[in-house]
Structure 1
Amino acid sequence: MEESLNVSVCIITRDEAVKLDRCLKSLAPLKLDVVVVDTGSTDNTKEIIENNQVRGADFLWQDNFSAARNYALACAKYDNVLVVDSDEWFAIEDCAVIKNEITAFLSKADLSACVGTFERYNQEANGTWQVGAYPVTRLFSRKYFHYIGKVHEAPMPRNQQIKRIDKPLAFHVYHDGYTNQEVFAQKAQRNLLLLLKERGIPKEKATDPYVLCQVAQMYQQTGRKKMALLYYKQWLLHETSLEQSYFQVGLQGYLETLIELKQFDVATKLLDAFGMINKDADNYFLTGLIYSEAKRFEEAKIAFEKATSFSNARVQARCTTLAQFMLGSIAEIEKNYATALKYYQQAGKQGREAIALLQKKHDLAQFKIKQYLALDVGQTTIKQVILDEVGNTISKRVILNSVADFDEEIQLLKKTIEPYRNQIAGIAICIFGMVDSPAGVVNIVEQDTTIQYPIEKLLTAEFKVPVVIQNDAKAALIGEKNHGSLNGETNAVVITLGTAVGGSIMLNGQLFQGAHKHAGEISYMVQQDKFLGESLSAVELMHKLYKIVKADKAISDKKLFAQALANPQASELIEAYSLELAFLLLNIQSLYDLEKIVIGGGLGQELTLIKLVEKKYQALTADLPLYQPQIVPAQLGNLAGIYGAFDELLKRQG
């Protein structure tokens, strides 16, 4: 059999001859080495293996999926393996894409730490298809990985000091192993017994409520919702005490699963049977959703209000913006528009969008559109944006900023705001420098002396509207967290590349400011005997590129960067800059162990630069036991700070 890739496909199977035949036929166009390990079939599995001209092997089943998987890996011809189940198959028309993706992964990924993942499309009992909640981890090198876990086995690094890195691949596999409900239940019972055995728990414990709850949670966490539902039902049938410490967590998982599977009737009956027993924000919020779906709005309102009385929801928005939005939705349904407005105003961007829809539907005085002025004050320009209360941009412009000192900066700010006196409901400012946002003060170092400028107080007194001021990088993080690439993240950093280098840090979902509000002042970090505010200045880099390529004065930064990449001397400068930036990211990652790093500012939109930095970062960390964070551009571009400051203003106004 001619093979175009040095990859072995490893399959374990038992009594699934028909599905195995379909699987092997879908693999044939890939021309890979294939080994099928039979764990005790009594059907014509061996005939199917022979007819498809692939290699076969036998393994005595040991109630241990990892043992069978690892035996299949040992039978592989090549170290690089693709693991497939016999009830899965690939579409023939996807073969070219699959080969290209596998080739790219094996040539670029660090095989000592990386596994290739792809989505699995599961066929439901009614014939519909649903994308699995989690990608499957299937492509890796057996030199560095092996399977662990008797059930729900997973490929993990042989070197336990290495943290596994999942790399998504742009193809998917089809799966129909859960369409037969009887087989589905049998597999669930088999897996339960294997888990009991793995943990040294006797079979009699198969009706123990704690064990049943744990198994249900495990299935939910791995995206097998129907299996989870099966065991959640069994759990409550055997549960004897609602005071168990794990009860609230189990109930939360059960309610989430019922909602995800749209079984609202069952969920409502469950709540009616147990009453309002919830004791945390997550369960109160889920209860509110269920009663809302049943149009039992009074009970839903009680649940959502109770959710907002907590501050420790597992999904933070459930006790803040999501709960407020649902309360607003109920008020709107009940045509209590003033109350709807109150709740929507506290519900973030989604709430502001709901207000916009109300404005279109109703001619009510309280929905008169308010306008806000947002300013991003840099050291060379000021970006000015007029926003409505929903966050839509009404107008924007850029003003040159060439003042001599900060006293002149204040005068320029007043001059910029003056045309909008009596027209705006508030002013949001993000600005360079060290900012104490709660105090509304900017700290500027002039001639070795730190001078405090009470910007918020000065502008509030002058224009008689609320004013919020925030450091530009911290505002960018807030904007990206609320609306951009950090939505849903908990540990990340935003680096803004401008005249200097700004930084802001988010730890455990909160903006980290430090003891004196100075955390994230990257410009004052030193690398190779230079302050980073100098060596990583994006403005300075663009000036140098402009001179090298002799560009037209009216050229945009984007076109200038594209021309520079085609110029050997300018390209070398960009390479050096990206290496300096990669060193910075390594230093930051070593300190904070982040999930994501966002690059903002004008250069943050240059995807070529982002890719260069990512490549150099990977080279620097190839032999280091550090987690590989995602390195991405700011989704909101150079307006991230504008939106972050605007959000802070609305939050302050309540």
Structure 2
Amino acid sequence: MKKALYAGIDIGGTNVKVGLCDAGGRLLHKLEGPTGGAEGLHEAVRRIDQYVRRAVDEAGGHWSDVAGIGAGIPGFVDIHSGVVALAENLGWEQVPIARILSEQFGKPVAIENDANLAALGEALHGAGRGVNHLVCYTVGTGVGGGIVEARRLVHGFGGMAGELGHLRIAAEAEAAPCNCGLRGCLETIASATGIVRLAREAIGRGEGTTLAGLDLARLEAKDVFVHAEAGDGAAVRIVRKAADALGLSMAMAAAVTNPQRFIIGGGVSRAGETLLTPVREAFARYAAEPLRRQVDIVQAQLGNDAGIIGAAGLGRSLSGMPS
């Protein structure tokens, strides 16, 4: 009897990641390639189809083995209609991507917000194993979030629950514009983009910082963390500001969802304890004692694989198997 394969697709503004999992959620094969989004929707879909089929071939499988496909989208997703309401980094608005991909593959496709799928991956196979109530942050170019209760995602009315990056955190006087159209959102401060913005502003004000010696065009969030670890005052302040914003947002989330665990993933989480320690301190300051009791804040375990593993789990649910 052939083993069923479940394809997980993590569609990013720059790259698409594809993974194949078995029925137990074990990642069997993965690959990555450019999205081609700047060349239009048709080209992006063509590439996604090519990557998935290539992954199946490289894994030694057959297209008939693929029993379910899930896809994660970085934006506002209506999971009921399969329509991407807005994905700024892809240039997609009101795109019926589930139907388009299903027609391309000749198989049913389910879609989700990419951070939701990263949360599901961590909940089932990563840092959330054994925990029934958790909130997962994906802190990268933006800030995404996912809420998991008893191994299931919390979607809300329109499927957009967990948009933690768009909690309004900044005071009016320092509220920077966000891609969502609002100002002062969490991701304007705590994302990699937000951290780099704060660093450039500090350099522009003439603060005495070792960051000023770097190529500003190539400045990355990881540079800020490296200089903070070396004791640079401006870099330390920026890291603490980002951590404070994350801790405050967690206190807000705790008041609504009362989770047992917060998981921080995404590229910024690679800073490890340089980020996690001040986040825990900020959460302890902002959250009421009953809401922070026995709550832990940990780093994600699956790294860049969380989204594709979660997406494959979504694909398994299409086949009638539990995710």
Q: What TM-score do the two structures reach when normalised by structure 2? A: 0.74
Please show how residues 479-518 of structure 1 align to structure 2 within 5 Å: 479-507=121-149, 509-518=151-160
Unaligned runs of 5+ in 1: 1-365
The CA distance in 2 between the partners of 1:371 and 1:624, in whole Å, is: 45
Once the two structures are TM-superposed, the CA of residue 582 in structure 1 deviates from its matched residue by 0.9
Once the two structures are TM-superposed, the CA of residue 644 in structure 1 deviates from its matched residue by 0.7
Which residue number in structure 2 is paired with residue 394 of structure 1? 29
SS, match of residue 526 in structure 1:
coil
In structure 2, the CA distance between the partners of 1:512 and 1:394, relative to structure 1 (3 Å rule), is closer
Match status 1:452 vs 2:94:
yes
In structure 2, the CA distance between the partners of 1:522 and 1:412, relative to structure 1 (3 Å rule), is same
8 Å contact 1:492–1:597 — kept in the other structure?
yes
Which residue number in structure 2 is paired with residue 595 of structure 1? 260
> Paired residue for 2:103, among 461, 477, 490?
461
8 Å contact 1:376–1:382 — kept in the other structure?
yes
Once the two structures are TM-superposed, the CA of residue 624 in structure 1 deviates from its matched residue by 4.2
8 Å contact 1:545–1:564 — kept in the other structure?
no
- Greater gyration radius: 1
In structure 2, the CA distance between the partners of 1:566 and 1:551, relative to structure 1 (3 Å rule), is farther
SS, match of residue 123 in structure 2:
helix
SS, match of residue 480 in structure 1:
helix
> Paired residue for 1:611, among 272, 277, 289?
277
8 Å contact 1:387–1:395 — kept in the other structure?
no
Structure 2: which amino acid aligns with 1:537? S
SS, match of residue 590 in structure 1:
helix
The CA distance in 2 between the partners of 1:554 and 1:389, in whole Å, is: 42
8 Å contact 2:70–2:110 — kept in the other structure?
yes
Please show how residues 50-199 of structure 1 align to structure 2 within 5 Å: none
Which residue number in structure 1 is paired with residue 301 of structure 2? 635
Please show how residues 295-444 of structure 1 align to structure 2 within 5 Å: 366-367=1-2, 373-387=7-21, 391-399=26-34, 403=37, 408-409=40-41, 411-418=43-50, 420-421=52-53, 423=57, 424=63, 425=66, 426-444=68-86
8 Å contact 2:261–2:296 — kept in the other structure?
yes
Q: What TM-score do the two structures reach when normalised by structure 1? A: 0.39
8 Å contact 2:121–2:307 — kept in the other structure?
yes
In structure 2, the CA distance between the partners of 1:635 and 1:445, relative to structure 1 (3 Å rule), is closer
In structure 2, the CA distance between the partners of 1:371 and 1:594, relative to structure 1 (3 Å rule), is closer
The CA distance in 1 between the partners of 2:259 and 2:51, in whole Å, is: 43
User: What RMSD in Å do the two structures reach over aligned CA positions?
Assistant: 3.3
Structure 2: which amino acid aligns with 1:412? A
Once the two structures are TM-superposed, the CA of residue 552 in structure 1 deviates from its matched residue by 11
Please show how residues 25-36 of structure 1 align to structure 2 within 5 Å: none
8 Å contact 1:460–1:467 — kept in the other structure?
yes
The CA distance in 2 between the partners of 1:577 and 1:494, in whole Å, is: 17
Please show how residues 578-593 of structure 1 align to structure 2 within 5 Å: 578-593=243-258
The CA distance in 2 between the partners of 1:557 and 1:397, in whole Å, is: 23
SS, match of residue 297 in structure 2:
strand
The CA distance in 2 between the partners of 1:476 and 1:384, in whole Å, is: 13
Match status 1:538 vs 2:192:
yes
Once the two structures are TM-superposed, the CA of residue 402 in structure 1 deviates from its matched residue by 7.1
The CA distance in 2 between the partners of 1:433 and 1:542, in whole Å, is: 21
The CA distance in 2 between the partners of 1:559 and 1:524, in whole Å, is: 25
Moved more, 416-425 or 612-621: 416-425
The CA distance in 1 between the partners of 2:150 and 2:20, in whole Å, is: 32
Once the two structures are TM-superposed, the CA of residue 467 in structure 1 deviates from its matched residue by 2.2
In structure 2, the CA distance between the partners of 1:556 and 1:451, relative to structure 1 (3 Å rule), is closer
Structure 1: which amino acid aligns with 2:77? V
Structure 2: which amino acid aligns with 1:375? I
SS, match of residue 514 in structure 1:
coil
Once the two structures are TM-superposed, the CA of residue 545 in structure 1 deviates from its matched residue by 5.6
The CA distance in 1 between the partners of 2:42 and 2:247, in whole Å, is: 36
Structure 2: which amino acid aligns with 1:536? A
Q: Which has the higher contact order (CA 8 A, sep 6+)?
A: 2
